[in-house]
Amino acid sequence: MARRLLCGVTVIISVTLNPAVDQTAWVDRLEPGSVHRVRETHIDPAGKGINVSRMAHRLGWPTLAFGFLAGDVGNIVRKALEQEGVPAHFVPVPGQTRINVTVVEGPGTATSFYGPGPAAPAEALASLEGLVRFWLQAGRVLVLAGSLPSGVPPDVYARLTRAAGERGVKVFLDADGEPLRLGLAAGPSLIKPNVAEAERLLGRSLPDEVAILAAARELVGRGVETVIISMGGRGAVCAQAARAWRIHPPDVKRLSTVGSGDAMVAGLAVALARGEDLVRGLALGTAAGAATAMSEGTALGTADDVAALLPRVRIEQMS
C-alpha cells in the first residue's frame, strides 16, 4: 500500500531516535562562571536523521522522517518540519525532547552542551520499528543516524539494517560507538564516520591521511560497500572494494560545521535515489556539507548554495 500511495516514488527514509531542539546563542566572549549578554539566539529542529531529511527535501527528493518526540519541546520539532514541508511521523514518548545548547563565541568557535534525551519505552520502540518496516516498501534509502536514547538496545540499527536488506533498501548508517559497531556487522551499504568516530570504531588513532584511507579500506573489508571518512574542512576519503577517492571541498567561509556530516549523507542519499553514480553522490554530498559549514549556527545550507558549490568540488581517484 505504501508503494501504491507514493506512485512508485522511492523515498529517502530517515530515523532519528534521539532528536533535539538546538538553541544557538552568539556571545562576544565565553567566560566560565560569568553572566553573558547574548547578541542573538536561534532555535532549530535537530537530530541527525532529521537533518538528513531536511537537506534531502531542500535538494528536491521525497523523504519521510521517523523517530521519537516528547512533550512541548518535541512539538517545536514537529512544527518546524511541518513548516519546511518535510513529511514526518514521530512516535510520542514520555518526558521532553532534549534541548542542545551551542554557544558561539566571537567569529565562530562553538561550544555545545548535549543532553541525554528522554528514554524510549519498549512499546514505543516496537511501534516505531513497525512503522519503519512498513514504509520500507516505499523506500530507496534508509538513513539511520545519531545516538540512541536510554531504553533502546544498541542493536536497533543492526535490526533495521537487516529488515531493509530483506526489502532491497540501501542503508546509510551514520552512528558512533556500540550502535555503529553492531550495525556495521549487519552489512549497511554505506557508513560515514568522521575521523574521531572511525578512531573509536577501530580502537586506534588515525594521525594522517594515509592512516585514514587504510582505515576506510579496512572497514570495507568488514562487509560495507562504501566507507566515507569525513575530515571536516579537509574533505573526505572514500573507499570501495576496488577503488578509492580523495574528495576536496570548495574553500568556503566557515561559520559553523554543525550538521555538515548530515548534509553530506543527505547529498549521497539523494544522488543514489536519483540513480546517479557514487562520484556524483560524493560531489553532491560534499557541496551540501560545505554549504552547511558556511551557514550560521546549526542551520543547514540552502539548495542555492549547494548548486553554486557543486562545480567547485574536486574528486581525485586514488590508486
Contacts of 312 (CB under 8 A, 6+ apart): 250, 287
Question: Judged by CB, which is closer to ligand ATP: 188, or 235?
Answer: 235
262 is catalytic: yes
Q: Please state, in angstroms and rounded to a whole number, the distance separating the CA atoms of residues 291 and 249.
A: 10
Q: Please state, in angstroms and rounded to a whole number, the distance separating the CA atoms of residues 260 and 234.
A: 12
Question: Judged by CB, which is closer to Mg ion: 261, or 301?
Answer: 261
| Interface pick for ligand ATP out of 19, 47, 49, 261 (rule CB under 6 A) | 261
List the end-to-end C-alpha distance of the chain, in Å, as a whole number: 46
Q: Please state, in angstroms and rounded to a whole number, the distance separating the CA atoms of residues 289 and 266.
A: 9
Question: Judged by CB, which is closer to ligand ATP: 63, or 194?
Answer: 194
The one-letter amino acid at 290: A
Binding mask 8-47 for Mg ion (x = CB under 5 A): ----------------------------------------
Contact call for residue 193 and Mg ion (CB under 5 A): no
Contact call for residue 285 and Mg ion (CB under 5 A): no
The interface region with ligand ATP, picked from 165-173, 175-183, 231-239, 268-276 by CB under 6 A, is: 231-239
The interface region with Mg ion, picked from 4-12, 216-224, 236-244, 254-262 by CB under 5 A, is: 254-262
| Interface pick for ligand ATP out of 230, 239, 297, 301 (rule CB under 6 A) | 230
CA angle, corner 197, sides to 184 and 108, nearest 5?
A: 145
Contact call for residue 311 and ligand ATP (CB under 6 A): no
User: Which among 17, 51, 53 is positioned nearest to 159, based on CA atoms?
Assistant: 17
**Which among 22, 44, 174, 262 is annotated as catalytic?**
262
| Interface pick for ligand ATP out of 236, 268, 272, 284 (rule CB under 6 A) | 236
| Interface pick for ligand ATP out of 10, 23, 63, 194 (rule CB under 6 A) | 194
286 interface partner picked from ligand ATP, Mg ion, none, CB below 5 to 8 A per type: ligand ATP
Contact footprint for ligand ATP (CB under 6 A):
194, 230-233, 235-236, 249, 252, 254, 257-262, 264, 286, 289-290, 293
Q: Which residues are catalytic?
A: 262
Contact footprint for Mg ion (CB under 5 A):
261
